[in-house]
Amino acid sequence: MNAADLGLPVDVPSTALFTDQYEFTMVQAALKAGTAGRRSVFEAFTRRLPEGRRYGVVGGIGRVLDAVENFRFDAGVLGFLHDHSIVDEPTLRWLSSYRFSGDIWGYPEGEVYFPGSPILRVEGSFAECVLLETVILSILNHDSAIAAAASRMSTAAGGRPLIEMGARRTHELSAVASSRAAYVGGFSSTSDLAAGFRYGIPTVGTSAHAFTLLHDSERDAFRAQVDSLGRGTTLLVDTYDVAEAVRTAVEIAGPELGAVRIDSGDLLLVAHRVRQQLDDLGATATKIVVTSDLDEYAIASLAAAPVDAYGVGTQLVTGSGHPTCSMVYKLVARAQSADPKAPLISVAKKSLGAKSSVGGRKWAARRSDAYGIAEAEVIGTGAVPAELVERQLLVELVKGGTVVAREPLDAARARHIDALAALPMSAGQLSRGEPVIPTEYV
């Protein structure tokens, strides 16, 4: 059995209440008005990237598919809606048999996106689509923010492994989602066992300062850890004196010592000193892992240091300063009537400022130059130009209410690597700037 099929013990039985109340009141009013069954098209997109970001990363698509499947109204949920007078009896009867029966198209997980990209397109009746707004945005905004931060950190790491260590810095369920998104964005492992159990992400971990402080001496602590976990373990060497700890670690584990971890101090200076000391002691294969409030900028500053792996926590699970992607979910087209054959008409919010949107059921494609490097995100509502047909980005995710595009998490991870490789080199710059390619509407 796939680990993702097992579910977490803390899973909720239904995602139906991961919803804002106005979605239910809209359904009630639309049912009464006879407009609830009108065929509708909603799209999730962002009007702009977080300040200074050059590209976005699509995270959470697999979790969205799970949420749509689990969007069910059991007796307990219906009882809550009834007891709190949130909707009337006709609406409760309608909800009791709710099953999303429409179609969902979207950017596959791990793909990059830009302002205006129709990241997700949800099609069905107005009532069944509008109920999904909050849960879809909740997942996409969170997971895409973490995936984007992870991608930047992975780029800064230059191929060195990254360990996700943020579980204690966020909500317990957000930690699992963060680990998943980080893996898509380029991290190689996690310290969170729930994420390993749920998604099959490789897990790592050895000891904290408390283990050293528990023992009468650092030597006793190291001996206990090596006796239990073997010479290939990672010893934490900054509880007291780093140089003395490194010397003790090699004396106990020998040159076969797997790694040492540094969690404080001037990491650049300390890493160089520890590397020299390890080499002088004959532990030339022993690796150095650094932690301590790292972000992409700190990781980049250690590019010249003899560091073999990074552990990242707080900055990763908070999106490195951008914990949301500001995605919205807007109605962009709807039928003229409840007749299934009624034609779609484009609709869009018109407002002053930056909150207007573009109507119409959209397609998206990425135009490349002669070298295969992306040069524009092209979005349109009519026929797809012949030269872009093979460059379209949206894939079918749900057909007639049935999920048709589940994939292993490693597929999304590999896709992100390919997507980054097809962007201009400036996408990897950490300096603030505009989106690395423009968005064009045709």
Indicate if the pLDDT at residue 9 is higher than 60: no
Q: Which whole-number Å values give the CA distances from 191 to 183, 211, 214, 280, 416, in the listed order?
A: 12, 17, 21, 31, 22
Strands 309-312 and 287-290: parallel
Which position has the higher pLDDT, 269 or 356? 269
Indicate if the pLDDT at residue 433 is higher than 60: yes
Q: Would you state the pLDDT for residue 340? A: 86
Give CATH for domain 159-319. Answer: 3.20.20.70
pLDDT band at 2 (very low <50, low <70, confident <90, very high): very low
Q: Would you state the pLDDT for residue 1? A: 37
Taking the C-alpha atoms of residue 113 and residue 110, their distance in angstroms, rounded to an integer, is 10
pLDDT band at 432 (very low <50, low <70, confident <90, very high): confident
State the number of CA atoms in the 13 A half-sphere of 328 facing the CB. 16
Q: Would you state the pLDDT for residue 14? A: 87
Residue type, 274: V
Indicate if the pLDDT at residue 356 is higher than 90: no
Question: pLDDT tens digits, residue range 176-235?
Answer: 999 999 999 999 999 999 999 999 999 999 999 999 999 999 999 999 999 999 999 999
Mean pLDDT confidence for 48-57:
94
Which position has the higher pLDDT, 353 or 99? 99
- Taking the domains of the chain in order of start, what are their residue ranges? 3-131+326-441, 159-319
Scored b (16 or more CB within 10 A) or e, 83-113 reads eeeebeeebbebbeeeebebbbbbbbbbbbb
Please give the angle made by the CA atoms of 249, 255 and 261, to the nearest 5 degrees.
Answer: 45
Q: Would you state the pLDDT for residue 25? A: 98
**Residue carrying structure tokens 């130009």:** 385
Question: What are the two backbone dihedrals, phi and then psi, of residue 329, each rounded to the nearest 5 degrees?
Answer: -130, 105
**Residue carrying structure tokens 């949206």:** 394
Collapsing DSSP states into helix, strand and coil, what is residue 32?
A: helix
- Domain at 3-131+326-441, CATH homologous superfamily: nicotinate phosphoribosyltransferase (3.20.140.10)
74 is written with which tokens?
A: 């059991």
Taking the C-alpha atoms of residue 275 and residue 246, their distance in angstroms, rounded to an integer, is 10
Residue type, 138: S
Indicate if the pLDDT at residue 170 is higher than 50: yes
Q: Would you state the pLDDT for residue 355? A: 73
Q: Which whole-number Å values give the CA distances from 126 to 39, 272, 345, 394, in the listed order?
A: 6, 61, 14, 21
Indicate if the pLDDT at residue 280 is higher than 60: yes
Indicate if the pLDDT at residue 5 is higher than 70: no
Q: Return mean pLDDT, the chain.
A: 95
pLDDT band at 13 (very low <50, low <70, confident <90, very high): low
Taking the C-alpha atoms of residue 35 and residue 404, their distance in angstroms, rounded to an integer, is 29
Q: Which whole-number Å values give the CA distances from 250 to 117, 150, 205, 229, 273, in the listed order?
A: 53, 33, 20, 15, 15
Taking the C-alpha atoms of residue 63 and residue 94, their distance in angstroms, rounded to an integer, is 25
**Shared fold status for 3-131+326-441 and 159-319:** no
Mean pLDDT confidence for 369-383:
96
Q: Would you state the pLDDT for residue 3? A: 42
Q: What's the maximum distance between 2 C-alpha atoms anywhere in the chain?
A: 80
Taking the C-alpha atoms of residue 167 and residue 425, their distance in angstroms, rounded to an integer, is 32
Judge contact between 403 and 102, C-beta under 8 A: no
Strands 112-113 and 374-380: unpaired
pLDDT band at 353 (very low <50, low <70, confident <90, very high): low
Taking alpha carbons only, the member of 189, 185, 184, 181 closest to residue 161 is: 189
Strand ranges for 223-286 from DSSP E: 234-236, 259-262
Which position has the higher pLDDT, 434 or 352? 434
Residue type, 192: D
Q: Which whole-number Å values give the CA distances from 247 to 146, 193, 219, in the listed order?
A: 38, 32, 10
Mean pLDDT confidence for 237-265:
98
Q: Would you state the pLDDT for residue 410? A: 98
Mean pLDDT confidence for 419-442:
95
Mean pLDDT confidence for 45-68:
96
